[in-house]
Chains A and B, each alone.
Chain A
Amino acid sequence: MARYLLGRIISAIFVIWLVMTLTFLLMHAIPGGPFSSEKVLPPAVMENINNRYHLDDPLGKQYVDYLKNLSHFDFGPTFRYEGRTVNDVFKDGLPKTATLGALATLLALVCGTLMGIVAALKQNKAADYIATFIATIGVSVPSFVIATFLQYYIGFKMNLFPPIGWGEPINMVLPAIALSAYPIAQITRLTRSSMLDVLNQDYIRTARSKGLPGYIIVIRHALRNALIPLLTFLGPFFAYILTGNFVVEYVFNVPGIGQFFVTSIGNRDYPVILGTTILFATLLVLFNLLIDIAYTIVDPRIKLADRRGL
């Protein structure tokens, strides 16, 4: 176990380093500097700018400097926001992104599992069809379209929730729904099929024949085992919550990292793109490590060594 963990941690560090290097190289492979799209500047000014951002250093030195700064979590200056560093942007945005993400996670887990359970218990009845229909919409409509419809029809037309902005808790309602639409759909489908599997097992029949009430069978016997396959979805789920934020924060004008990232793509603000990619990739690699460890705790039948090949 300790040996496995050590190996996983080393490989996680290696992956993070690789992501840093590749993103750095990609960003520097772009023809023309980040300032070349502006109106033509006098050469002296260009030289000053390059000097200021160390763009005239040799690539190797820039790379070593960047890694050095990253090692104490310094992501460098932004190109487009005078006086702000990427760290400032993260400090501002991360709490908002994290709050929204946590809320969406909660919503997705609760709604998804509930809908999945109901659909499985009422298989081929109206409730099943409604849940399947919602799940189908969630996976077949792009999230920016769902977000726009929610914003316009629920926000502007019906005036139920504020369609834009940030600050009050009520502002979070629509973005959280938009962000959780896709995971809700996936979790509903997963829970439904694994619930149906479990409900056909012998130990459920035994529990029923002992005369246990239905809700105890569902909660204590069926659900616990039905939720294990859900663990495999947690990695992609977390990845979706992070990257889904790009769209949702942009549409609802939430001042989080996601919105900033999308704006930076338009602005070609490379340090922000670079920093966000590294931050998100690091978070995901660490999270996947945690999931792998959680596996062994939740289900002792799963051996860590077996999952390595996956």
Chain B
Amino acid sequence: MELLGNLGTALVALLDWQTILAMAVGVVLGILGGAMPGISPSTAVALLVPFSYNLDPRLALILLVSIYQAANYGGAITAVLINTPGTPSTAATCFDGYPLTQQGKAGKALGIALLTSCIGGIFAAIVLILFCVPLARVALKFSPAAYFGVAIFGLATVASLGGGNVIKAIIAVLVGLLIETIGLDPISGIYRFTFGSDLLYDGFALIPALMGLFAVSAVFEQFAEWTGLDRKMEKIDNMLPSFKELWSLKRVILQSSVIGTVVGIFPGAGGTIASFISYDTAKRTSKEPEKFGKGSLEGLAAPETADSASVGGALIPLLALGIPGSATDAVLIGAFMLHDIVPGPLLFKDHPAIVYGIFASLLVANVLVFLIGLYGNKLFIKMICVKDAVLFPLILVVALIGTYSVNSSLFDVGSCIGFGFLGWIFKRYGYPAAPVVLGIVLGKLIEYNFRRGLIMGGYSVFFTDKLAFFVLLLAMLSLFYPLIKAGLNRLRKGKQS
């Protein structure tokens, strides 16, 4: 009852014109950001984080969550129209979306992507609302040792961000964790690794790291393979599918909503894995599997629904436990920190207006994605065609001014460029950049709780505290599962040969 009451209050608070404007702006920017190949949802959210600094925290987070939710649909626009996924998680959307465009059904394909994306998003938002509060209540009883385990579990995300090489992903996260130790030690009060420079007394700020690793490095990547070719889009016709077509997709939509939400909850899984699992499941359970890859409506609906549903799922560990479920979640934690808010179980006690505001805004943002997508798609397609020669220099300028605007610090701007180089070099040699951010975000939480646990009960506390032991075991398993799996596969192959 308390939950419904809070949610009702939050929904009423959303009727304020500023909140609606923030959501609408977030949805438009999210769709555009998601649709631009080369700009991932995490980059789109990261670019906007510093600009939210001057906003009321509730409005700022609603704006960023709206961008996150809308970016997933935005990615489908280019996936359907030019066979280029705007975001990695819309790669599976290309399989059946682009064949539909080739058949002259681009409008219908986009309409189904839009509608299923919104349904998946609303489904996951409802699950988020129902499960987040009980999970946060349980988390409130966690000891520092257990919380250390939960934070390590959050690092399991690296397994999926590794892009094939888990060792490199773990190195990247360790680099982030080591960077986080620079500056004042929160427990002993001594300065670490500052090299005598007072600029490093507070360590590196999170925003320059976010901007550099996501935005600046992405621009360098684009310039490394610069073709200078412009994007050309198909014109779209009538967008909404018929009710009969939509009704025929009900099973796939429900199934993919569940898959997307559940996969999204697990740190490290995220939208890309959710959409591929969902596509595969839809194909295996379909009455017409032969149509998949040739313009199947089920094949289009499945990944889109799951991708969108994964957003709500990924927000569950973020809000209830304070651990990010995806790269974009790590950026969102940065936004929380920027406003001096710590995501986690205490969020529900200390900032109920923010947390219920996010819940309510997720529901409304999905409706806005539908309306804005339906009426604004033709305009978005024109805007996506903006030349890369204009877009990328402006991204650099936005990243630098965004970084400067938070602390009015030129050192931060320099750090942002430095992190940009680091991110580009890392990505070039197969070390993903997102785990570095994850390490920076979770570094303090891990160190603080580990040392507190140690002070309270010595090393044995991590074995005697049953919950801590269980969570740590789970974290180690998820972190090293890809390595174990790869080793087993190699053994199996060796035996066969």
Q: Does B bind A?
A: no
